[in-house]
Amino acid sequence: MDLGIAGRTALVCASSKGLGLACATALAREGVAVTMTARGGELLEAAARAIGEQTGATIRTVVGDITTVEGRALALAACPQPDILVTNAGGPKPGDFREWSREDWIAAIDANMLTPIALIKATVDGMMARGFGRIVNITSGAVKAPIDILGLSNGARSGLTGFVAGLARTTVARNVTINNLLPGPFETERLLTTAAASARASGKSVDQILAERRAANPAGRFGHPDEFGAACAWLCSAHAGFVTGQNLLMDGGAYPGTF
Ligand code: NAP
């Protein structure tokens, strides 16, 4: 299917690896000019070069922390009027809520709630004025089914989800949609970090935790980042203008609810 977005511009945050990288790659394959960001420049440049060579798309890079005012200003200076915005940042640390300080909570809310909102605020009115916009927030399956050791993520991302639910209904008449993509377990570095924390807490090995998690998933495996990128590209497509305010869970069927 031609997604109808060739020639569009996208800002894909936190995209030197993992799910952000997969989204940037999938959009570039559709002929979108992509601006990628990350804090580490070396990996980001290598990723951008690889995508550019693979797809022939124009790729820009911005080194900076997207959770800071300065980092966002740099990203928006490089891509001031994106047609497509994919918000993403590292997930908060796992642990026990008894150990988290007010600063830990503020950092999580900053990264996983206020940063996406600030980026949306900076771009959504331009999208509405131009009559096209696609915003996808990478959140987490934890929004639907909380994960015990990820309380900071459960809390902060639920705040973003509630905010987006309201805003998404006010932009769609101008062909600007806002949706959330909720990853379950995808094979990325982040997954290994959370598995290592579970291993420490349970006394099991990381391999054992990973094997148990694979076996416990109805799909019998983890998701592949390419699958995530493809879903993101579709949500950003010309065909998805009637889809807004949705939370698309990609978890191999792990969430057991009917709705
Ligand atoms: P990942 O493999 O660790 O990749 C994270 C990417 O984000 C890297 O490119 C990293 O580069 C960049 N990044 C992190 N913090 C940043 C910041 N403050 N500013 C700019 N760039 C930043 O993680 P992932 O698995 O793709 O996860 C992406 C998001 O999905 C996270 O919020 C994670 O919690 C969530 N999630 C993932 C899963 C999963 O199974 N993978 C499941 C549920 C939720 P630098 O370090 O160089 O900045």
Q: How far apart are CA 24 and CA 15, in angstroms?
A: 7
Mean per-residue pLDDT of the chain: 97
Tell me, in angstroms, the distance from the centre of ligand 1 to residue 129's CA.
31
Judge if the beta carbon of residue 61 lies within 6 A of ligand 1. Answer: no
* C-alpha distances out from residue 163 to 76, 169, 213, Å: 22, 11, 31
Task: Report the distance separating Cα 191 and Cα 93, nearest Å.
Answer: 12
Mutate to test the pocket of ligand 1, among 21, 86, 190, 210 (most ligand atoms within 8 A of CB): 190
Q: Is 113 in the pocket of ligand 1 (CB under 6 A)?
A: no
- pLDDT score, position 190: 84
* pLDDT over 90 at 94, yes or no: no
Nearest CA-CA partner of 173 in 124, 242, 86: 242
Determine whether the shortest distance from the Cβ of 177 to ligand 1 is under 6 A: no
Is the Cβ–Cβ distance between 222 and 187 less than 8 Å? yes
**CB of 220 within 8 A of CB of 210?**
no
Measured CA to CA, the distance from residue 124 to residue 43 in angstroms comes to 29
Instruction: Please name every residue paired with 33 in a beta bridge, in sequence order, or none if there are none.
Output: 9
* Cα(81)–Cα(70) distance, integer angstroms: 17
CA of 246 to the centre of ligand 1 (A): 21
**Cβ 138 under 6 angstroms from ligand 1:** yes
C-beta separation of 5 from 238 below 8 A? yes
Chain Cα centroid distance, residue 110: 15
Q: Which residues contact 207 (CB under 8 A, 6 or more apart)?
A: none
- Among residues 2, 1, 7, the alpha carbon closest in space to that of 28 is found at 7
Query: Over 90: is that where the pLDDT of 248 sits?
Result: yes
Query: Which residues are CB-neighbours of 56 under 8 A, at least 6 positions away?
Result: none
pLDDT of the residue at 62: 98
Band (30; pLDDT cuts 50, 70, 90): very high
Q: How far apart are CA 173 and CA 168, in angstroms?
A: 10
Q: Could you tell me the sign of the dihedral formed by the alpha carbons of 48, 52, 54, 57, in that order? A: positive
pLDDT of residue 212: 96
Decide if pLDDT at 246 tops 90: yes
Vertex 69, ends 159 and 42: CA angle to 5°? 105
Asked if pLDDT for residue 10 goes beyond 90, the answer is yes
Q: What is the mean pLDDT of residues 19-35?
A: 98
Residue scoring higher pLDDT (192 or 70):
70
* pLDDT, tens digit (0-9, with 9 covering 90-100), for 158-216: 999 999 999 999 999 999 999 999 999 999 998 898 899 889 989 999 999 999 999 99
Tell me the whole-structure pTM to 2 decimals: 0.97
pLDDT tens for residues 105-136? 999 999 999 999 999 999 999 999 999 999 99
